[in-house]
Structures are given as structure tokens and as C-alpha cells.
Amino acid sequence: MALVVKVPGPLRNLVGGLFEVESSGDSVARVIENLEQNYPGFNERLLEEDGSLRRFVNVFVNGEDIRFLNGLETSVGEDDEISIVPAVAGG
Amino acid sequence: MSFAYALACRECGREYGLEPIFSCDFCFGPLEVSYDYDLIKDTMNVASIEAGPPTIWRYSPLLPVDPQYKVDIGTGYTPLIRADRLARAIGIDTLWIKNDTVNPTWSFKDRVVSMAIGKAREFGFEAMACASTGNLANSIAAHSAAAGMDCFVFIPDDLETGKVVGSGVYHPTLVTIDGSYDDVNRVCTELSYQRPWAFVNINVRPYYAEGSKTLAFETAEQLEWRAPDRVVAPMASGSLFTKIWKGFQELEKIGLIQNPTTKMSGAQAQGCSPIATAYEAGSMNFVPQKPDTIARSLAIGNPADGYYALKTMEQTGGGAAMASDVEILEAIQLLAETEGIFAETAGGVTVACLKKLVEQGAISKNEETVAYITGAGLKTIEAVSSEIRQPIHIQPKVEEFDAALEAYN
């Protein structure tokens, strides 16, 4: 199995309209790097210029917010699922 | 008609058409409805408002929904009550309670749902959906029933019976999720990209959130067209809190009130206080929390408008406070015993935080203050049922009553 990334609506045009794509990397940051290589545009949309996650982007690993884990350095493996979700929903 | 003409990203300013979208395609920032205030100013005035219905729709030029699509079950224009007994009890001169427990489904959520379902009908959606801590679930289920629309409601599986039954009775598809509200919200956000439904607080959220402005419009009208010195309002996502301030600012833009200097104070439960904690730390970046509080309607650990709530406090010179579960229960009873208003746990949070802010001197005694009580007590009866004094139980005989009353007092 490969690591799966769920792609939110605003980024779907970068991946040919897919709801999810496969990727690889041993941390969330590496996975985003790989996404950028395969689908240019991810970095600019997800990250600030200093490399931190944009304020209104939430990233979850297997349903857990990476801010409760190790942020962008959170370790991930082949069986994991990463969700990228806009932060401005709910309430 | 509506005077809304675009959505704009609050962060980067990119403009979008009035579509069922909620976050900026570029930076993920929240989208907000833009209005033509010059045109509104020409059509909206005190006389036109007073000629309108006694509901939120009297302010329709400042709302994003064309009234021909409205689903009106009688929301809004709730009482603003002078709360002298509560004011004396907490040591403040002038206190008003905006009693929003008396809406059709007994919470302020009817205001925001009125916007969401009207806009959804305008867009041609056939089904409504939401992620909810309970009050929103009740309201969207009721409004969908009244409109004859399908409804999908997603809630955490630990909600109070009143909130679950209060949704189920309208016969939506009700889904309880093994997780917190934040889990429910994530799942619904993912679903919103795959299902052709209007998720009230996701893909139609920019319109939905606008409904909370009517709390400010009504307050200003009920105070004879002025804004109070201070507002104390509960914060879950922070949306209601920020929209009350937006409402006062809009009334100034169209010339109905002058220069509002209202200080905005937000109330959270200690067991779920990401915004109040950030405020106390002097930070604009909240850290998400795992909620653990009896105030389940405020149990959002990752608040969508947390950042903007903090900005509103900074901009208005307001602030925030948090209340423990014990303080929440005491405050529910204090409000009930002094003003005859039975609030749900969120109302307890608001009154407890108001009391605390006055005690701390953060709110001065002479500030005219409005406290927003946003949901009714019968929804969260579990929270207080062990707190109330047990009734006198007797056989049907006068002598038993006389004896029992002596013992009771």
C-alpha cells in the first residue's frame, strides 16, 4: 500500500480533479515535497514563505491534527492517510 | 433582492462570485460576503426597518439572501431585557440580556441557518447538511423539515438527550460520530467535496455566518439606535463573536448608529478555551485543544474563526475569560434566580465570564453591557438536574404540606 493524501477542493485542479492521490515520504514535510514534484503548486498553496504551514490549512494524519503530533515533522509511513482540509469550516 | 455582490478572501483579498464556496482557492483564507453599502444606505433606514416583520428579515438589505428564498419559521427580534437583579448581584450598573433562547429551536442558530437554507435554495441545492455540537443540528433539521428538503446531520456521540431528540423529531438523517466535534467537522469538510449537499457551516458558511450580525442589529435597534459600551458573548468557532462586531460596524456604515466603541469580550469554558488561552498568552495564534467541558455547544477545540475573534478583541479593546464547569453551573442558576431565564450551558459560560470580568476590573462598573444568552436550558437539562433543590413530596393532605414546608425552610 502507498500513503494516501486526501485532496481538498481548492487543490483538486493541481491533481487532475482527483479526490485523493498516492505519495511517499517519511514525514508530512517530505510528503508535501513529493507532492510538489509530482504536482507543482502544492508548496505555494500550503506553505508560507518561511516553510511553515499556512494559517488556514489543517493537516491530519489518520484523523489526528498534526498540531497534536509533531507538526510538519510528524512521521508517516506507507499505511497512513493524510488529509489536507481548509481550517475555516465549522462552528 | 440582496445587495451582496461578491465573496472576498479576508486574507489575500481575491474576489469570487457568489457561489457555494467557503475558502480561498489560493491561500485557504475564509471568504466573506461583500455588499454595496451605498445602495443599502439609500434603501434602508429606521422607518423601513420599523415597517418590516418582527423577525431577522426586517434587516434583509444587510443579509446575503434574497428574501424570496427564505424559510421563515419566526426567527429573531428576541427580547433585550434590562437585567437589574443580575447586575446588582455581580456589581455592575447597567446590564442587558439579549435573550436568544426564545427562537423557534431555542438557540441563536436559527439566525445563521435562516441564511444558509435561503442561500442553498437560491443555489438550487436539494439537501442540507451540517456538522454540529447540537444547536445547529436542531435548527437545520427544523428548517429543512419546514422547507421539505432532505437533511443530513452529523454530531458527536456524547451530546445531551435534548439536543439529540431535538434534532431527531424533525426526521433528518441523523449520524452520531465516535469522536469530538472537531472530528465531525473534518469528516464533513471532506464529505462536502463529494456530496451535492449544502453543508451549512462549510460550503455555504460565508452566507450562514452573516446571520449572526442580526444579533447586533437587534441590540442596536432595541437600544434606540446605539451600540453598548461592552458585549459579552460566548465563543465556540468565534464566528458569532466576530459577526456581532461586524453588525455594529455595518450599522455605522449606513448611518444608523454613530461611531460604535463597543469593547468585545468573549467567553469560553475552561475545558475548551483555545481562544481565551491565546488571549491570556497575548498571542494571535491559538493552539487547538481536546475539549473536556459540560458546555458541549462550545466544545470546538479547533475554532475556524479563532484568529478573527482574537483580532476583534485587539481591535475593540475587549478581551476574553474562561469559566470552570462549577462556575458554569452556578452561573446558570444565578441567571435563572435573578432574571427568570433558564440558559443552556453556553449561557452559564457567558454569565460566569461576565461576572469574572467585572470582578477582575476588566469590565468597569459603569460600562453599559449586553450579555448574549444564546441557547435554552431545557436543551442541557442533564448538566443542572443534580444541582437543583429536590421538590417537596407529600401525600395530598394540607397538614403534610404545613409540616414539610417547615422542614424545607
Residues in B closer than 8 angstroms to A71, CB to CB, are none
Task: Give the nearest chain B residue to A47 (CA atoms).
Answer: B27
Nearest to B112, CA basis, from B127, B89, B132, B82? B132
Q: Do B193 and A55 touch (CB under 8 A)?
A: no
Residues in A closer than 8 angstroms to B205, CB to CB, are 88-89
Q: What is the ipTM of this complex?
A: 0.93
Asked if pLDDT for residue B183 goes beyond 90, the answer is yes
Q: Output phi, psi for B101, to 5 deg.
A: -75, -10
Distance from CA of B43 to the nearest CA of A (A): 32
Q: Is B233 on the interface with A (CB under 8 A)?
A: no
**Residue B51: exposed, middle, or buried by beta-carbon count in 10 A (0-12, 13-18, 19+)?**
exposed
What CA–CA distance (Å, rounded) separates B137 from B154? Answer: 8
Model confidence at B169, in pLDDT bands (50, 70, 90)?
very high
Q: Is B236 on the interface with A (CB under 8 A)?
A: yes
Q: Do A90 and B192 touch (CB under 8 A)?
A: no
Q: Do B288 and A67 touch (CB under 8 A)?
A: yes
Nearest to B236, CA basis, from B179, B279, B200, B276? B276
Average pLDDT rounded to a whole number, residues A2-19: 94
What CA–CA distance (Å, rounded) separates B291 from B276? Answer: 13
What does the pLDDT look like over B3-19, one tens digit per residue? 999 999 999 999 999 99
What CA–CA distance (Å, rounded) separates B227 from B245? Answer: 10
Model confidence at B392, in pLDDT bands (50, 70, 90)?
very high
pLDDT of residue B1: 75
pLDDT of residue B131: 97
Q: Do A89 and B201 touch (CB under 8 A)?
A: yes
Average pLDDT rounded to a whole number, residues B68-92: 98
pLDDT of residue B408: 87
Q: Do B287 and A67 touch (CB under 8 A)?
A: yes
Q: Do B307 and A55 touch (CB under 8 A)?
A: yes
Task: Give the nearest chain B residue to A54 (CA atoms).
Answer: B27
Model confidence at B229, in pLDDT bands (50, 70, 90)?
very high
Q: Are B22 and B206 spatial neighbours (Cβ–Cβ below 8 Å)? A: yes
For a pLDDT cut of 90, what percent of chain B falls above it? Answer: 98
Asked if pLDDT for residue B45 goes beyond 90, the answer is yes
What does the pLDDT look like over B300-334, one tens digit per residue? 999 999 999 999 999 999 999 999 999 999 999 99
Average pLDDT of chain A? Answer: 94
Task: Give the nearest chain A residue to B30 (CA atoms).
Answer: A88
Average pLDDT rounded to a whole number, residues B347-370: 98
Q: Is B303 on the interface with A (CB under 8 A)?
A: yes
Sign of torsion over alpha carbons B186, B14, B11, B211: negative
Task: Give the nearest chain B residue to A63 (CA atoms).
Answer: B183
**Residue A34: exposed, middle, or buried by beta-carbon count in 10 A (0-12, 13-18, 19+)?**
middle
Q: Do B22 and A88 touch (CB under 8 A)?
A: yes
Q: Are B145 and B151 spatial neighbours (Cβ–Cβ below 8 Å)? A: yes
Option in B26, B179, B186 nearest A83 (CB): B186
Q: Is A48 on the interface with B (CB under 8 A)?
A: no
Asked if pLDDT for residue A1 goes beyond 70, the answer is no
Q: Is A57 on the interface with B (CB under 8 A)?
A: yes
What does the pLDDT look like over B88-100, one tens digit per residue? 999 999 999 999 9
Q: Is A74 on the interface with B (CB under 8 A)?
A: no
Q: Which of B190, B192, B205, B310 is the mutation pick for testing A, counting most A CBs within 10 A?
A: B190
Task: Give the nearest chain A residue to B185 (CA atoms).
Answer: A90
Option in B22, B24, B307 nearest A89 (CB): B22
Q: Do A90 and B237 touch (CB under 8 A)?
A: yes
What counts of helices (H) and strands (E) characterise chain A?
2, 5
Residues in A closer than 8 angstroms to B192, CB to CB, are 9, 89
pLDDT of residue A2: 87
What does the pLDDT look like over A46-67, one tens digit per residue? 999 999 999 999 999 999 999 9
Asked if pLDDT for residue B210 goes beyond 70, the answer is yes
Q: Are B189 and A90 spatial neighbours (Cβ–Cβ below 8 Å)? A: yes
Average pLDDT rounded to a whole number, residues B346-352: 98
Q: Are A42 and A11 spatial neighbours (Cβ–Cβ below 8 Å)? A: yes
Asked if pLDDT for residue B293 goes beyond 90, the answer is yes
Domains and CATH numbers, chain B: 80-105+213-387 (3.40.50.1100)
Q: Do B28 and A19 touch (CB under 8 A)?
A: no
Sign of torsion over alpha carbons B388, B393, B398, B404: negative
Q: Is B132 on the interface with A (CB under 8 A)?
A: no
Average pLDDT rounded to a whole number, residues B392-401: 96
Q: Do B305 and A63 touch (CB under 8 A)?
A: no
Average pLDDT rounded to a whole number, residues B107-132: 98
pLDDT of residue B63: 98
Asked if pLDDT for residue B267 goes beyond 80, the answer is yes
What does the pLDDT look like over B130-152, one tens digit per residue? 999 999 999 999 999 999 999 99
Give, as one character, the DSSP assignment of residue A15.
G
